[in-house]
Amino acid sequence: MEPQNLSCAICLDRFRIPATIPCGHTFCQDCITEHWDTKSKADIGPHCPICNEEFPTRPILKRNVSLSVLSEATANSAGASGRDTVPLMKGDVARSMPLVLCDRHKKPLVYYCQKDNMCVCYECAISECNNHEKVLVETEKENRELLLRRKSVEVGRCMEETERSIAELTENIAKAQVTWQQTSHWVNAKFSMLLKVLAEKQESTENFIEQEKHASLAQANARLEELRERAKQLRERQVQIAATRILPDTQLIQESRLVEVPRMKDIPVDVSPNLQERLSGVTDVLSRISKLVSEDLVKAVSTAVGQDKQGSPQDKRPVLAVVPSPAAPCHPAGKKGLSEYRCTLTFDPRTANAHLLLSQENRRAEHLTSGPRPVTAHHARFDHTWQVLCFQGFRHGQHYWEVEVSKPWAYLGVTYEGIPRKEKGKRCMVGMNDLSWSLQLDERQLSAWHNGRREMVAGHSNHSRIGMLLDYEAGTLTYYGHGQARLHAFHCAFTQELFPACWIGEGVSITLCST
């Protein structure tokens, strides 16, 4: 027997699709429809079978969802043996999804409380969520399904974009790998080509020098043999003269007429191959290549690999060349490494201009503001240029020295002995001719000079102590400032003895440092 409140008054059975009519009574939808159809055949209008309330028109029947759910749950709970879930029925067809019951009241969860964000049963809806906004679970489910469909569309769109990004990134990775490989091959090919060209040209130049050496030595040896033969003839003639001198007078007079000094042509004794002039083009190119490799390429590589963020290490340590010549060992970094090559210098008073006064055992030179002092004339003296050379010269090896400058108005460098000394004008200044190299100290800018050509030097110009490192075999003259900061380096092929030189501006003093 079905509970009375869940049974149809017409069929006396459990509600099947319960429908509530306007008077408030509920019947099975099929039962009330069939009842009204039967009465309409007898010309009786629609009315309620229980209270007999008549309706002007047949009411539109709608399923009482709440009662339908309750009826179905109650009917199935009896056969569920205490289970908490029963299958939902839609009409006479059972749903595949189970209906969840309230844990407290064991009633179906038919409402969704929007305030508490949870599903509740009838009793919970009345007792605890009476004033809350509520909707049927099916309505909330439809809303949530709609929202999920929208989210699914959005996720699908994101998936498409992600798939496109994956494909694009995969393609870009492949392109980048090709680019990296091509760049690596190009760089390696360029380095290999340069090394090959350098090796080939080095070999051909060495062969040329070797050929010139053999030719020059062969010619010199031939001259040497000729001179030895001449010496032999002269010794024989000397013996003849000695023998004639001991003859009797009349015979001496007679024989002396036969004695003659042999006339011989001059035989050159110069063995110089004159290679410097013939290879001047090669040495000039090698000097430029040395600068490119030792400075420009090192700086470019350091910048590229991220070592130039706070000043390249190349600017903080004394580096002469990336690949020094075999005769030029690598120089240890830091002041301790440079001190290994420290030398003691003194100014040569014979070369000092009349405006320069030497003191402190010829280690200090000061430009007098009072005018020139009386000096003796000397072929080594600079007559019109405020300049002085050091007494010591260098033909080989590594040499390091430092100078103190009272204020930035000076030229510091090295020169060959043949620098002009008697002319007026800048040609006698160190760095203004092809015989010398210098660094100009100015209040605004540092400049490097050779053969009258100027190269601007980066960095501030306020340096009171300047270090200079000469590596004769490597062909480098490197300048250092405060804290052994590398300022500039000349790259060339030295061929003659080099003398440290200073041009000193008016009121400036330069001191050769001993430590």
CATH of 4-140 among 3.40.225.10, 3.40.50.150, 3.40.50.10440, 3.30.40.10: 3.30.40.10
The alpha carbon of 374 is separated from its chain's Cα centroid by a whole number of angstroms, namely 59
Structure tokens at 369: 């503001």
pLDDT of residue 77: 58
Domain ranges within the chain, ordered by starting residue: 4-140, 141-265, 286-512
At 28, is the secondary structure helix, strand, or coil? strand
Count Cβ neighbours within 10 Å for each residue of 158-172 and write b for 16 or more, e otherwise. Answer: eeeeeeeeeeeeeee
pLDDT of residue 90: 39
Structure tokens at 10: 């017409």
Q: What residues of the chain score a pLDDT lower than 50?
A: 1-2, 79-96, 308-333
Helix %, strand %, coil % for the chain, to 5? 40, 20, 40
Structure tokens at 47: 């009315």
Helix (H) and strand (E) counts in the chain: 9, 20
Return the number of other C-beta atoms located less than 10 Å from residue 38's C-beta.
Answer: 10
CATH number for the region 286-512 comes to 2.60.120.920
pLDDT of residue 80: 46
DSSP string, 159-200: HHHHHHHHHHHHHHHHHHHHHHHHHHHHHHHHHHHHHHHHHH
CB proximity list for 47: less than 8 A, separation 6 or greater: 39, 53, 54, 55
pLDDT of residue 423: 94
Handedness of CA 188, 193, 198, 199 (dihedral sign): positive
CB 404 within 8 A of CB 366: no
pLDDT of residue 186: 83
Q: What is d(CA 252, CA 241) in angstroms, rounded to the nearest whole number?
A: 10
The pTM (predicted TM-score) of the whole model is 0.51
Q: What is d(CA 461, CA 445) in angstroms, rounded to the nearest whole number?
A: 5
Strands, E assignment, 369-409 = 387-389, 398-405
User: Which of 139, 493, 116, 10 has the alpha carbon at shortest distance from 286?
Assistant: 493
